[in-house]
Amino acid sequence: MVSLKNKKIIAIIIVFIVLAAGAGLWFQKKGDATSAEIQYEQVQVKRDDIVVGFDSDGTIDFAKVNLRFGVKGTIAEILVAEGDEVKKGDVIAKLDDRDYQDQYQLALAKLQEAREQELTSLLDTELKLKTTAAELEQLKDEYMEMEAIPDAYSASELKMKKLELDNKDTEYQNLQQKYELQKAQGLKQNELEVKMAKEDLEETILYAPVSGIVLDLANKVGESVTDEQDFATIHENNAINAVTQVIEYDIGQIKVGQKVYVTVEAIPDKKFTGEVSKINALPSEDSSGLVNYTVEIKIKDPGTELKDGMTCAVSFVIKEVKDCLIVPYNAVKIVDGKQVVTVVDETGQSVEREIKTGFTDGTSVEVLEGLRENETVVYPKK
């Protein structure tokens, strides 16, 4: 039988065992935590750009000009192929112009006939005008003679002569107005028909209105086209834009001429530079009710890799520092009011060094003083 004293001793031993086990577990956890705390990131000081801005999804958009004939007809000749470079004013294609040649020649013939008829009519009217003018002068002389010797003529004779004179004067005035009207009217209708026929004939030849690359030809020789149908598409002056929608909360941060970076999903290793060329003043609203504004970016030196319709990411630059020394933002700590980083020296030892920093985007920070390129900086891993 175990005595009371022995029971107490056993109880004390058990308590010590429990406490020892708990202490061991605590130290183990502390050791694990300490082990986690001493894991470090190592990075080399490098040169790069720091950019602050905001991103938006967009689409690559070629500056395109669609061409169409001004009249309908059958394609007689195509002088370019897709991919050809053309200059402004080059002939792209021609329609069969025989019908339009006939219409133009017919209009010219009608104009010539009308000119001859008009000339004859004017000569007739001019002759009548001169004859009437002579008769009017004769009547004026006769009436003046009758007035000079009133006793030789009765009142009724004078009245009749005056009426005859007035009628002839009215006839002369009417003829003169007719003559002036004929000269003024000329051949406007016939001349207009000639002008329209000539324009239709000229519209059978399709010219390049701008310089660029032929992207598309919709028809072949022998096929029919209308004046409402696009025949060719030209990429104007190799100009390439990125088009994106910017929500109303961000549009105030954008201005024409602002620098932009464009990256394309199909060309992930290349970054294109551009600038804002247009901000649409009219908004558009998407299905969620958000108000957006269309922004166009002109891409500089696009090369030949970009294709119309490619998906892209647009980064609007608010502030940028180029080609500066950078370290991770988390590598910099404040010690006694000074900016400090931990550097691995030539012997492999970690030493603290005071530095001076500049601009930061919250991820990287610009180093102005205290570090050299390719030095190694260590900092606790989070």
Question: In this predicted structure, what is the pLDDT of residue 187?
Answer: 65
Burial class (CB in 10 A: 0-12, 13-18, 19+), 297: buried
C-alpha to C-alpha distance for 264 and 272, rounded to whole angstroms: 9
Question: In this predicted structure, what is the pLDDT of residue 19?
Answer: 47
C-alpha to C-alpha distance for 68 and 61, rounded to whole angstroms: 21
Cα 290 to chain centroid distance, Å, stands at 23
Beta strands in the chain (DSSP E): 40-44, 46-67, 73-78, 85-86, 91-95, 205-207, 212-217, 224-225, 232-247, 259-264, 267-279, 284-285, 291-299, 311-328, 333-335, 338-344, 350-354, 356-360, 364-369, 376-380
Question: Tens of pLDDT along 173-229?
Answer: 888 888 777 666 666 788 888 999 999 999 999 999 999 999 999 999 999 999 999
Closest CA to 236 of 308, 142, 188: 308
Ranges of the chain whose pLDDT falls below 70: 1-38, 182-187
C-alpha to C-alpha distance for 302 and 305, rounded to whole angstroms: 7
Question: Tens of pLDDT along 255-283?
Answer: 999 999 999 988 988 999 999 999 999 99
* Rg, Å, the chain Cα set: 48
This prediction has a pTM of 0.60
Type of residue at 84:
D
- DSSP result, 292-323: EEEEEEEESS-TTT--TT-EEEEEEEEEEEEE
